[in-house]
A and B are shown apart, each in its own frame.
Chain A
Amino acid sequence: MVIVISNEMKTKVGIKLDEYESQMIFKCDLGIMKVKDCYIDEEHHKEVDMLGPNPSRMLALGVLGCLSASFIFCLKKRNFKVDDLNSEAEVTIARNEKGFWRVKKIDVNITPIIKDQDALKRAQQCLKQVKDDASFFEQYCIVTQAVRTGIEVNVNFDF
């Protein structure tokens, strides 16, 4: 559910403990969305055993989806489209000085396919650095720019 009040938006989600002996698997509550079963699995370590992503993967998907949508939004503002797009994220988790695991960095690689020459020019503008750590299009990303203060996020483009 999203509630917009002028300069503020609110998003709500929920989880419920699944009937699983381990107690580390949760079912997502995404309201009235058309989503089939969504589970967050913090129990299994091997992907072949997992019923859904763990929280680190969820975070990576949030950053990846946000950056990809922001790039496409930047093109759309000038009525351009990508012909295709693939993205990957690698999350590095390391122990801090007290021995607790923390997300250290997220390396993002976005690979759009853009055939139109004018769209390519616009893409270059979208990638232009406006700050030390962010391109023009990244400013549109709600999630990454907020995450970045706590976690290093490196963004690479191949096209």
Chain B
Amino acid sequence: MLRESRVKVGIKLEEEMTYKCDLGKINMNDFFIDETHKSYSDKIGPNPTSLLALSVLSCLAASFTFCLKKRGFTLKDLNGKAEVVITRNEKGFWRVKTIYINITPKIDDPNMLKRADKCLKFFEQYCIISESLRDGMEVDVKIDY
């Protein structure tokens, strides 16, 4: 059984505190991390906090989908939202305190609903990211269907 895997990413300074991502051979347009602009309408890419939230959110959504797929069920649709709460620690530095996750899958089939109920009990164990982060921050997960 494979015990370890590794992935690599890179960034290069674009301007001030904006970086161009190096994602190897992945098929995507230019992707930037923008910590320069404060206003969202000026940003040309997510900031690191948004990337963390997208990572946790997509990992949990994929883990829930994976749990359904293991019994041959297919979702009609799925939406997910994440809200990151950042507070100052005792020394005054900003820290990620909580990530609130809300996943809304569209499930009509009663058999699939039964499987979804079972998945709610254990699907988070499949998520590489949230379960690794939980020692450092609260990850609050809610599934609405």
Asked if B26 contacts A150 (CB within 8 A), the reply is: no
B143 within 8 A of A: no
Contacts of A1 in B (CB 8 A): 40
Tell me the residues in window 54-73 of chain B with beta carbons closer than 8 Å to chain A beta carbons.
54-59, 61-62, 65-66, 69
Given A52-B26, A59-B129, A93-B5, do A38 and B31 touch, yes or no (CB 8 Å)? yes
Q: Is A119 an interface residue (CB 8 A)?
A: no
Chain B min CB distance to A78 (Å)? 16
Q: Which of B11, B75, B93, B131 interacts with A65 by CB under 8 Å?
A: B11
Residue B141 at the A interface, CB < 8 A?
no
Given contacts A47-B23, A61-B33, A148-B136, contact A11 B7 (CB under 8 A): no
User: Known: A47-B26, A142-B95. Is A60-B136 also a contact (CB below 8 A)?
Assistant: no
Q: In the complex the two chains form, what is the Cα distance from A141 to B49 in whole Å? A: 10
A70-111 Cβ-contact flags toward B at 8 Å (1 or 0): 001100000000101111111111110011111110000000
Q: Taking CB as reference atom, which chain A residue is nearest B27?
A: A51
Count A-B contacts at CB 8 Å: 300
Q: How far is the CA of A73 from the CA of B48 in the complex (A)?
A: 14
State which of A34, A61, A99, A100 has its C-beta within 8 Å of the C-beta of B43.
A34
Could you tell me the distance between the alpha carbons of A84 and B65 in the complex, rounded to whole angstroms?
Answer: 42
Q: Is the CB of A33 within 8 A of B43?
A: yes
Tell whether A13 pairs with B96 under 8 Å between CB atoms, given A7-B88, A151-B132: no
The main secondary structure of chain A at its interface with chain B is mixed
Which listed residue, B3, B28, B77, B137, touches A17 by the CB 8 Å rule?
A: B77
Quick check: B23 and A57 within 8 Å, CB to CB?
yes
Q: Are B52 and A93 in contact (CB under 8 A)?
A: no
- Give a binary string over A1-13; 1 marks a CB under 8 Å from any B CB, 0 the rest: 1100001111111
Contacts A59-B52, A148-B136 given; does A37 touch B29 at CB 8 Å: yes
Given contacts A90-B8, A100-B125, A103-B132, contact A10 B51 (CB under 8 A): no
- The residues of B with any CB-CB pair to A shorter than 8 Å are 1, 3-13, 16-17, 19, 21-35, 38, 40-59, 61-62, 65-66, 69, 74-75, 77-88, 91, 93-97, 125-126, 128-129, 131-137
Which 10 pairs between the two chains have the least Cβ-Cβ distance? Answer: A149-B136, A62-B51, A66-B48, A58-B55, A65-B33, A150-B135, A55-B59, A146-B96, A17-B78, A103-B132
